[in-house]
Amino acid sequence: MKKTPIFSVLFGMCLFCLVSSAFPDDCNQMHEAYMDQKIACCQKKAETFMNSRSDNIRKYAEINQQKASYYASAKKSILEDLNARDCCLKPYQINVYLNKRFFAISESSPIADK
């Protein structure tokens, strides 16, 4: 039975990690694509639910409209924050970050009850 030197195993693992990791440009493009998708999704939800007979669903549509306009207006600063990190974020991590940021802003100016 031939034993593989530990150095060749470590070299292979390091090479695999380097190849499989995302490059910064890929992260920037992925973050920007996710932001565009998120803005479009919020706008679609707002359009879909705005004419509902339910007050709660209309409020949900209003929140999504506010999210879409906030994300579009703050897109540059949000992308700078996301791209300043050392690694690529997964979509759910970006979503958590966006929600925290939006609701931190909206707490200072809550949605008025109708």
Task: Please give the model's pTM, rounded to 2 decimal places.
Answer: 0.71
Q: Alpha carbon of 60 to those of 43, 47, 63, 99, 114: distances in Å?
A: 12, 11, 5, 14, 13
Give the pLDDT confidence of 82-93 residue by residue, as tens digits.
999 888 889 999
- The CA dihedral of 96, 98, 100, 104, to the nearest 10 degrees, is -170
pLDDT band for position 12 (50/70/90)? low
Residue at 60 is within a domain? yes
20 pLDDT exceeds 80? Answer: no
Say how far apart CA 82 and CA 89 lie, in whole Å.
8
Say how far apart CA 43 and CA 63 lie, in whole Å.
10
Residue at 76 is within a domain? yes
Task: Specify the pLDDT at position 81.
Answer: 93
Task: Specify the pLDDT at position 4.
Answer: 57
Residue at 68 is within a domain? yes
Residue at 4 is within a domain? no
Residue at 8 is within a domain? no
Residue at 55 is within a domain? yes
Domain residues for the domain of 101 are 24-106
Mean pLDDT of the chain: 83
Residue at 32 is within a domain? yes
Task: Specify the pLDDT at position 3.
Answer: 59
Domain count, the chain: 1
Give the pLDDT confidence of 32-64 residue by residue, as tens digits.
999 999 999 999 999 999 999 999 999 999 999
Residue at 65 is within a domain? yes
